[in-house]
Amino acid sequence: DTLWDLAIAEVEKRENPDDDVKQGQVWEKSILFLGNKNGGKTTIILRCLEREETPKPTLALEYTFGRRARRHNTPKDIAHFWELGGGTSLLELIQIPITSHNIRSFAVVLVLDLSKPNELWTTMENLLQVTRNHVNKILAKLEKTNPEVAAELKQRMRNNLQRDHPDYELVDPFPIPLVIIGSKYDIFHEFDSELRKIISKTLRFVSHYYGASLVFTSKSEALLLKARVLINHLAFGYDKSKSVSVDPSKPLFIPAGLDSLSQIGPPPASDSDIGKMRANTPLELWKKVFEKTFPPKSFCDLQDIKDPAQDVQYAEYEVDVMRAQKNQELEQYKRNASKSWKEMDFDSD
């Protein structure tokens, strides 16, 4: 190696202290995309992979991958991209891609539709809560079988904030790397400025509280590029961006650890209103303030109740005929079972 090679390797080592991939080995990462239905997850994935394809609606849980070489004449690294469709209706599928085998190299990208603020908090809360619960179960098992790895993962998320950061003891980092993307900024930009401030400020707090990166994007190539920077860091180990944009009149871009509670300020409500709100945690207080302006849709309203089996684009004559026959047999069985139960004599004692 030349002196320049050694210098480059040393810089990369310092900038990526959690990179345990040795030179010549393949970097392999996994990312799960969650968020609002029709929120733009597929579009973001396609742009990250530089694929010129027309996005199609995601059914259930879909998978694709990308490959990149970090340097000339080196093996191509692999990034596994998982996408959960249906908004919050298929939460149980989250446990499929995240396992104890890949937890060390896993990250989550939460895509929130800025044009639907009344769905924003409910979607975010349910998706992150289910994901966090699943990850915590994996970590609990690892603490028994491989405590060093469990400790490493917990400390790694704490490292997003420097120990001398004033908020170090006030935040509750998500257990694995998290990026929050506010999509459809072009529509959001037409909102009243005060409403934009409330949404922006709230998402800044949530992202900082969870130790996450935050970026607003749209179909604009310039904004998609900013989202790609954050995702490519997770997927392929590209350099972290040091730039920050916190102006609520412009698209937000805040890498993890570069915000603070003092810069974000208090929840956007009067002191008297805040005094009337009962909350056990700062996150709960922000939720109450946000939902006062944007009353949430119920969790049931966000469930995607459409049965894919009834979708004409998946029609298969032979399968559909057999399914109809089996449904008839099931209904007949239910009727017969109901009759037999009614005919039984039960001892009142």
pLDDT tens digits in sequence order for the chain, 349 residues long: 567 766 766 665 555 544 444 555 667 899 999 999 888 899 899 888 888 777 777 778 899 988 887 666 777 888 999 999 877 778 888 999 999 889 989 999 999 999 999 999 999 999 999 999 999 999 999 999 988 888 888 888 877 777 888 898 889 999 999 999 999 999 999 999 999 999 999 999 999 999 999 999 998 888 888 898 899 888 888 877 888 999 988 999 999 989 999 999 999 887 777 777 887 888 999 999 999 999 987 655 455 445 566 666 667 888 888 888 888 887 887 777 666 655 555 454 4
User: What is the predicted pLDDT for the residue at 222?
Assistant: 87
**Is there a contact between 182 and 215 (Cβ–Cβ < 8 Å)?**
yes
Q: How are the residues of the chain apportioned to helix, strand and coil, as percentages rounded to the nearest 5?
A: 50, 15, 40
**What is the domain partition of the chain in residue ranges?**
26-293
Q: Is the pTM of this model over 0.95?
A: no
- Does 26-293 carry CATH code 3.30.1300.10? no
- SS3 of 70-107: the string is CCCCCCEEEEEEEEECCCCCCHHHHHCCCCCCCHHHEE
Distance CA 47, CA 59 (A): 19
Q: What is the pLDDT of residue 199?
A: 96
Q: Which residues contact residue 269 at a Cβ distance below 8 angstroms, ignoring those fewer than 6 apart?
A: 277, 289, 292
